[in-house]
């Protein structure tokens, strides 16, 4: 027997592990700092050597592009180059068209920037970033060029050269100096998702997870899938192995979403079984569930191997269920209602295990860098990196930028502000950059802090450090502490925006041009312009249709409702993955809105979960209706009527439609029951039973929809859930 380790030894070991983790983390941070410094200084040196107009732009670019993983740097660099090229082209076009007409020029610029800011909210990941850049580069190049139209072409070319130099250097350094592939990050994120999924399925199967908690689990899962997808999109720029994995990851996400949506329906059903009238069903199910619950709750996979092991146990469990289910069915005598509940649970359980095994298989294929050959399913539809949203979202983002640009232009023209160009440019940059962030005002505030810090630091640098430096080597040593500080801040997620702001604007303010000028008044003017523009951008985010305003909430909720209508009425081909993907994406955006946590929002979340469940069930039902079954024409049409009543209710949610919906399902259920009981002598074909089960699931959900005209009673959701059967 081992002696119990003493308390102090345990604490000591814990401290050691914590210390190790700390150093591991710190080492990664300092590696990043080192890479950023090398890249920034090489870019600066090259820019001086090539005698570019403003070498600082190259350094600023390095700070913007630099990230921990090589693939991310390449991706961001690629899209940044793309955006810069397009933006410069448009700027030249605008200057050529409206060189003398500043109002027309500014209007044209505002329209361009507004359009691209709107575009940025439609696309995701780095594609969105390219939109942002094409928008604000037009500002960055166009405004100085419009001041001096004769030099416009030179300004554009210089700007392009400097940015491309920065991108080139940053990509090369990040690829050559201790390159970090996105692959491990991807694999560990995939494993974590798998482990969490296994764990929450264990909990769902044992007694069901209450709706409210399930909502937050659901959101976490959606966000993790989005993160995985962003890694995937970066992987295209990573090494060739990750490139080949693209299809496997898409496949895994699709399998995961399929399993998750079945689990979602199953969880709600198991919650209903907690009702006392369903005790017999619960007891009959327990022996079937017990093995799985034990497996999923005790085996938390921490490696790809353990995940595979868990899947093989799950396979055994599936065989066990196959073996025992007919015996359990024979042993128990249920009332018809209980029988239906039992069959529902069993069918969902079997479907879930099947899909879970698919997911496990594609997950281990990803971990082992294999490619799944047998494509029995169409690959999922994630195309063009676009995501579902309501058109109000891009419209609001675009309008906000246009308004801000307009207001600042009016102020600039009327006050003849000398640094107005800089202020206008930076305001556009800031508002475009953060227009896709979930909480832009907070990010802008962080950036503001970064600017303020960099303002002070730039003063110190120009007053005290720069006059004593001679030559590039000494300049390097003068810059290192400041740049290292910025790079280190960038590694802390909490202060990321401060770090970026400091790095960008310290470089802008402090790094001397090829001909060093000591212009303190100019520095003061620029610094004030930066602070003012960031303040105005923050104000625009806070006041002009702030994130999570009533209108966007309403529109997004409507878009989510429309998903269900689509699920009810559109042609079935490819509809299921599309529904699962789009409804999740919309829910993610709704939940990402600022201040999403009030009681009303929780009702929204419950509503969204209901839509998810109803949509999955309706899609299954419609698929089943397309397969051979023995429903006659009259019954079939009554089922169709019920489905269209569902769509009608989600188009106009009022009490009349709700009553019609309930009526439709109350009519259809006994009819289909009749048919099954008519056939009682023969074994009902399993499709008939399944149709009945899905109708039953939808009906339970429909009954749980709260009445509309009554002000929503503060009834706890859980009791309503259980009341599905009690009612």
Partner 1 sequence: MPREIPLFDALIPTLLLILIGSALIYVLIDQLLRDVDWDRFVWHPALFRFALFVILFSGLGLWWYS
User: Minimum distance from CB of 172 to partner 1 (Å)?
Assistant: 7
Tell me the C-alpha to C-alpha distance, in Å, between residue 196 and each of 199, 202, 296, 557, 585: 5, 10, 10, 28, 20
Query: Which CB sits closer to partner 1, 70 or 128?
Result: 70
**Whole-angstrom distance, CA of residue 556 vs CA of residue 538:** 24
- 8 Å CB contact between 560 and 587: yes
Q: Does 172 contact partner 1 by CB under 8 A? A: yes
Which residue among 18, 151, 176, 551 contacts partner 1 (CB under 8 A)? Answer: 176
User: Minimum distance from CB of 164 to partner 1 (Å)?
Assistant: 13
Q: Does 332 contact partner 1 by CB under 8 A? A: no
71: its two tokens: 């693939």
Q: Write out the binding residues for partner 1, residues 220-239 only, by CB under 8 A.
A: 239
Which residue among 36, 57, 61, 70 contacts partner 1 (CB under 8 A)? Answer: 70
User: Minimum distance from CB of 176 to partner 1 (Å)?
Assistant: 5
**Whole-angstrom distance, CA of residue 425 vs CA of residue 404:** 11
User: Minimum distance from CB of 175 to partner 1 (Å)?
Assistant: 5
H helical segments located in 66-123: 70-98, 102-122
Query: Which CB sits closer to partner 1, 72 or 273?
Result: 72
Burial class (CB in 10 A: 0-12, 13-18, 19+), 176: exposed
Query: Which CB sits closer to partner 1, 240 or 276?
Result: 240
Site mask, partner 1, residues 20-59, x = CB under 8 A? Answer: ----------------------------------------
Query: Which CB sits closer to partner 1, 78 or 123?
Result: 78
Q: Does 89 contact partner 1 by CB under 8 A? A: no
**Phi and psi dihedrals of 123, rounded to 5?**
-90, 170
**Whole-angstrom distance, CA of residue 655 vs CA of residue 258:** 33
Query: Which CB sits closer to partner 1, 36 or 699?
Result: 36
Query: Which CB sits closer to partner 1, 69 or 581?
Result: 69
Query: Which CB sits closer to partner 1, 42 or 195?
Result: 42
H helical segments located in 368-419: 392-415
Q: Does 371 contact partner 1 by CB under 8 A? A: no
User: Minimum distance from CB of 427 to partner 1 (Å)?
Assistant: 36
User: Minimum distance from CB of 267 to partner 1 (Å)?
Assistant: 45
Query: Which CB sits closer to partner 1, 45 or 488?
Result: 45
Q: Does 154 contact partner 1 by CB under 8 A? A: no
Site mask, partner 1, residues 482-501, x = CB under 8 A? Answer: --------------------
470: its two tokens: 């001679």
**Whole-angstrom distance, CA of residue 573 vs CA of residue 385:** 21
**Distance in Å from the first CA to the final CA of the chain:** 57
**Phi and psi dihedrals of 483, rounded to 5?**
-65, -40
Q: Does 175 contact partner 1 by CB under 8 A? A: yes
C-alpha closest to that of 603 among 653, 637, 533, 651: 653
Contacts of 358 (CB under 8 A, 6+ apart): 255, 258, 259
**What SS3 state is found at 654?**
coil
Question: Can you spell out the DSSP letters for 269-329?
Answer: HHHHHTSGGGHHHHHHHHHHHHHHHHHHHH----SHHHHHHHHHHHHHHHHHHHHHHHHHH
Query: Which CB sits closer to partner 1, 166 or 360?
Result: 166
Query: Which CB sits closer to partner 1, 70 or 201?
Result: 70
The packing angle between helices 240-273 and 211-235, to 10°, is 170
Question: Can you spell out the DSSP letters for 702-723?
Answer: HHHSPPSSS------HHHHHHH
529: its two tokens: 């312009």
Stretch that binds partner 1, among 172-180, 557-565, 609-617, 639-647 (CB under 8 A): 172-180
User: Minimum distance from CB of 36 to partner 1 (Å)?
Assistant: 18
Site mask, partner 1, residues 698-727, x = CB under 8 A? Answer: ------------------------------
Query: Which CB sits closer to partner 1, 174 or 526?
Result: 174
- 8 Å CB contact between 307 and 301: yes
Q: Does 179 contact partner 1 by CB under 8 A? A: yes
Q: Does 240 contact partner 1 by CB under 8 A? A: yes
| Cα 191 off chain centre by | 18
**What SS3 state is found at 123?**
strand
Stretch that binds partner 1, among 174-182, 258-266, 447-455, 635-643 (CB under 8 A): 174-182
- 8 Å CB contact between 435 and 483: no
Site mask, partner 1, residues 428-467, x = CB under 8 A? Answer: ----------------------------------------
User: Minimum distance from CB of 238 to partner 1 (Å)?
Assistant: 11
Query: Which CB sits closer to partner 1, 185 or 611?
Result: 185
Using CB under 8 A, count the residues that bind partner 1: 7
Query: Which CB sits closer to partner 1, 223 or 239?
Result: 239
Site residues (vs partner 1, CB under 8 A): 70, 172, 175-176, 179, 239-240
């Amino acid at each position: 027997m081992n002696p119990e380790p003493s308390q102090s030894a345990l604490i000591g070991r814990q401290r050691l592990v914590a210390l190790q983790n700390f150093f591991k983390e710190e080492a990664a941070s300092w590696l990043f700092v080192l890479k950023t410094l090398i890249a920034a200084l090489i870019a600066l040196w090259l820019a001086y050597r090539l005698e570019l107009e403003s070498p600082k732009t190259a350094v600023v670019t390095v700070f913007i592009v630099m990230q921990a993983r090589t693939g991310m740097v390449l991706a961001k660099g690629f899209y940044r180059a793309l955006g810069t090229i397009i933006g410069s082209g448009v700027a030249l076009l605008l200057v050529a068209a409206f060189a003398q007409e500043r109002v027309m020029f500014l209007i044209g610029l505002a329209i361009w920037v507004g359009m691209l800011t709107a575009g940025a909210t439609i696309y995701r990941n780095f594609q969105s970033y390219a939109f942002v850049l094409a928008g604000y580069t037009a500002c960055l190049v166009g405004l100085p060029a419009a001041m001096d139209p004769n030099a416009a072409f030179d300004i554009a070319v210089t700007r392009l050269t400097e940015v491309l130099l920065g991108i080139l250097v940053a990509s090369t350094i990040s690829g050559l100096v201790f390159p970090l592939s996105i692959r491990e990050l991807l694999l560990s994120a995939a494993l974590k998702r798998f482990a969490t999924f296994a764990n929450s399925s264990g909990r769902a199967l044992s007694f069901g997870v209450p709706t409210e908690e399930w909502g937050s689990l659901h959101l976490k899962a959606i966000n993790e899938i989005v993160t995985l997808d962003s890694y995937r999109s970066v992987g295209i720029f990573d090494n060739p192995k990750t490139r080949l994995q693209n299809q496997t990851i898409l496949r895994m996400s699709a399998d995961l979403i399929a399993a998750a949506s079945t689990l979602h329906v199953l969880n709600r059903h198991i919650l209903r079984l907690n009702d006392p009238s369903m005790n017999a069903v619960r007891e009959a199910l327990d022996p079937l569930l017990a093995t799985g619950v034990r497996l999923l709750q005790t085996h938390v996979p921490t490696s790809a191997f353990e995940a595979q092991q868990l899947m093989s146990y799950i396979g055994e469990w599936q065989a066990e269920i196959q073996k025992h289910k007919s015996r359990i069915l024979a042993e128990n005598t249920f009332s018809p209602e209980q029988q239906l509940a039992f069959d529902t649970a069993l069918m969902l359980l079997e479907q879930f295990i099947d899909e879970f095994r698919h997911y496990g298989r594609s997950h281990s294929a990803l971990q082992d860098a294999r490619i799944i050959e047998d494509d029995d399913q169409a690959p999922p539809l994630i195309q063009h990196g676009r995501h579902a949203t309501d058109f109000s979202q891009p419209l609001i983002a675009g309008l906000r930028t246009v308004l801000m640009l307009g207001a600042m232009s009016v102020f600039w023209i009327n006050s003849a502000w000398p640094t107005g160009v800089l202020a206008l440019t930076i305001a556009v940059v800031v508002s475009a950059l953060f227009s896709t962030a979930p909480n832009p005002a907070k990010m802008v505030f962080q950036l503001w802090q970064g600017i303020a810090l960099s303002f002070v630091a730039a003063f110190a640098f120009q007053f005290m450090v720069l006059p004593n430096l001679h030559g590039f080597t000494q300049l390097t040593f003068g810059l290192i502490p400041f740049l290292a500080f910025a790079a280190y801040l960038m590694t802390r997620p909490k202060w990321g925006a401060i770090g970026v702001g400091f790095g960008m604007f310290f470089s802008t303010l402090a790094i001397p041009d090829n001909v060093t000028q000591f212009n303190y008044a100019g520095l003061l003017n620029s610094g004030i312009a930066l602070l003012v523009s960031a303040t105005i951008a923050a104000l625009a985010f806070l006041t002009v249709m702030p994130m999570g305003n009533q209108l966007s909430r309403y529109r997004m909720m409507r878009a989510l409702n429309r998903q269900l209508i689509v699920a009810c009425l559109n042609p079935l081909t490819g509809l299921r993955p599309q529904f699962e993907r789009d409804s999740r994406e919309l829910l993610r955006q709704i939940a990402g809105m600022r201040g999403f946590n009030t009681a009303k929002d929780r009702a929204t979340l419950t509503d969204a979960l209901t839509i998810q469940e109803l949509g999955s069930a309706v899609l299954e039902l419609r698929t089943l209706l397309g397969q051979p079954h023995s429903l006659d024409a009259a019954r079939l049409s009554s089922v169709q009527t019920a489905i269209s009543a569902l769509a009608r209710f989600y188009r106009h949610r009022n009490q009349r439609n709700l009553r019609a919906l309930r009526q439709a399902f109350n009519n259809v259920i006994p009819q289909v029951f009749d048919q099954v009981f008519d056939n009682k002598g023969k074994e009902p074909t399993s499709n008939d039973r399944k149709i009945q089960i899905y109708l039953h699931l939808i009906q339970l959900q429909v009954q749980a929809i709260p009445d509309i005209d009554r002000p929503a009673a503060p009834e706890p959701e859980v009791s309503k859930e259980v009341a599905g059967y009690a009612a």
